Amino acid sequence: MFAWLLVPVGVVIAVYADKITDTIGDFEWVESWMGIGSTHTFIKLVGIATSILAFMYSVGGLDSVFSGLVKYF
């Protein structure tokens, strides 16, 4: 119902990833998995994914994606 509110939240997360990383610090598991300095990239990817998934949910795109996957399970 309020998924459309997550689209700008995801954009804000992606835009302010540097400030978010400075505030919360580095993620050790991300640094070991993706390399040194990749916490910024990970937070930007989370923001972009949040925006895309929220938009898809708002317009019904996730329903069509998951309905196609259901037949395999």
Query: What string of pLDDT tens digits covers the 73 residues of the chain?
Result: 688 899 999 999 999 999 999 999 988 998 898 888 889 999 999 999 999 999 988 888 877 777 877 777 7
Per DSSP, 73 falls in state -
Q: How many whole angstroms separate alpha carbon 39 and alpha carbon 66?
A: 29
CB 13 within 8 A of CB 50: yes
- Please tell me the pTM assigned to this model: 0.81
Dist. CA 32–CA 19, nearest whole Å: 21
- Provide the pLDDT for residue 66: 78
Domain boundaries, the chain: 3-70
Would you state the pLDDT for residue 8?
Answer: 95
Q: Which two tokens stand for residue 61?
A: 């795109």
- In degrees and rounded to multiples of 5, residue 26 shows phi and psi of -85, 150
